[in-house]
Structure 1
Amino acid sequence: MQMLNRFTQAVLGCLLDEGCLVCQRPTPGHLCRDCDRQLRCCQVSHAPPSNLDRPLFAWGDYGGMLRQAIALIKYHNCPQLARPLGHWLGQAWLDQQTSHPNHANQRLLKMPQLVVVPIPMYADKQRQRGYNQAELLADAFCQVTGLPLARRGLVRERNTSPQFELSGAEREANLQQAFRLGTMKGRSPVLLLDDIYTTGATVRSALQVFQAAAIPVQGVVVLARAGGHPPRNPDPSSLGVGNGAAIGAIARSIDRRRV
């Protein structure tokens, strides 16, 4: 009888396993082994180049499987994928604090009142999507780091044009006065969090709001740092996943809708 119960539990466990969030292969976790490995290969150990006067921490390069994973979250209704990626981001940020004791980010960890503020979406766009990917990443990030999260610390009050359609100068103009202060209380130092950092126009616009309110922004954390030249779309057949056609479609959608 005991053996039958164990067999029944094993069968039910297989049946209840959800598919990998990237390739849909049956797996007991969020990601199958292949997709987990390919995503982790996107992580970088070096500090990314930055045109900010604040520390910038990026978990990975905006390319390969990470690029596709962000597209799945943003454009293909896969908010669950933000949780493992946000956890990785939080753990990597913590690891840097201990491995680089003299790094600027080490000072951030010692600030007991440091508050994480996600870059917001315009309300209508968020209602259409159903969630803000930066907020989901920030929530998972805070679960790992233990830092408090101000979900509405910043509000996007103007519906801006998609950044991917614009030049560098146009990006800056597009985001002028796009944000306002939200539910921030007091003058606790802020750690801004977003999914992708490209030219820094979005972050600089947010910084202006906090500077006007005399709230210090101590750093910026992003999942991916985009370089000057977007990487080429990989051959879906080389990804080691079962839905090559879907992955190819995702890669093409990124080119059309990259932000």
Structure 2
Amino acid sequence: MKTLLNLFLKPNCPLCNRPANTELCDYCQRQLLRCRFPLGTEFSAEIPICVWGQYKDVLKRTIAALKYNYHTELAKPLGYGLAETWLSTPQSRLTSVTVVPIPLHAAKLKKRGFNQAELLAKSFCELTGLSLCSQGLERIKETEALHELSPEQRLQEMQNVFNLGSDFRRRRPPSSVLILDDIYTTGATVKAAIETFKISGIPVAGVVAIATTQKPINR
């Protein structure tokens, strides 16, 4: 719990410990922007994918600080940045879509205490004005760490991972859904989510993510 003194002190940057007026200091903000893709960057996929930046350097460290060092305040600038990127795309005209964050398994959620994708989605929806459904998907299988697996192993590991979430079991979305995740790598997680929605007859308008390891097709 913060002390009375802490309430009057400016927080230090969680990445470099410099004084910061916002979530990150000016230096780290500039370094973070170097990871951002140009607006209109496209990726090869069956459905539209909107990504803020390349998973490297300060962006990689920022996501790690959010997920593993409990700096949940970083979800705000990251979510806002992703929202600005989304609003620059033709897909942003779809104002009736419902944003669904990729869920954590209940055991991991209990251990971590929060779902980073849900926090990002809240900031994303705050700026875009889109509806958020945090329980649109349910993760019913606890998977291994995907970064240690090959693309083929990831696809195998992600089979039968998701069920339709409690919110959509009660009431289906009025239109299509927009899947939100923190990192888009091979696409195995997103493909599993899309398949779950497809089986339930719910169309997917696209995918948004903060970062990707993939190379754009127009750069």
TM-score normalised per structure 2: 0.89
Specify whether residues 175 and 31 from structure 1 end up closer, same or farther in structure 2 by C-alpha distance, changes over 3 A only.
same
Question: Match of 2:189?
Answer: 202
Out of 22, 29, 37, which is 2:22 matched to? 29
Give the alignment partner of residue 126 of structure 2, picking from 143, 150, 168: 143
Determine what percentage of the aligned residue pairs are the same residue: 43
* Equivalent position to 1:73, from 66, 80, 86: 66
> Once the two structures are superposed, what CA deviation does each residue of 1:7-56 show, in whole Å capped at 9, x if it has no partner?
xxxxx999521111322222221111100100011100152433x31000
Q: Which residue of 2 aligns with 1:224?
A: 211
Counterpart contact for 1:54–1:219, Cα < 8 Å? yes
CA RMSD for the aligned pairs?
Answer: 1.8
Please say if residues 139 and 149 of structure 1, whose CA atoms lie closer than 8 Å, have aligned partners that are also in contact: yes
What does residue range 74-223 of structure 1 map to in structure 2 within 5 Å?
74-94=67-87, 96-97=88-89, 106=90, 108-182=91-165, 183-184=167-168, 185-187=171-173, 188-223=175-210
Residue equivalent to 1:40: 33
Closer, same or farther: CA 14–191 of 1 in aligned 2, 3 Å: closer
Q: How many residues align?
A: 206
Pick closer, same or farther for the CA change 1:179–1:14 going to 2, 3 Å.
closer
Contact 1:138 1:149 in 2 (8 A): yes
**Higher relative helix content:** 1
SS in 2 for 1:160: coil
Q: Structure 2, unaligned stretches of length 5 or more?
A: none
Instruction: Report Cα offsets for 1:166-201 as digits up to 9, x if no partner.
Output: 111110010101000011222420000000101000
Write the distance in 2 (CA, Å) between the matches of 1:54 and 1:80: 30
TM-score by length of 1: 0.76
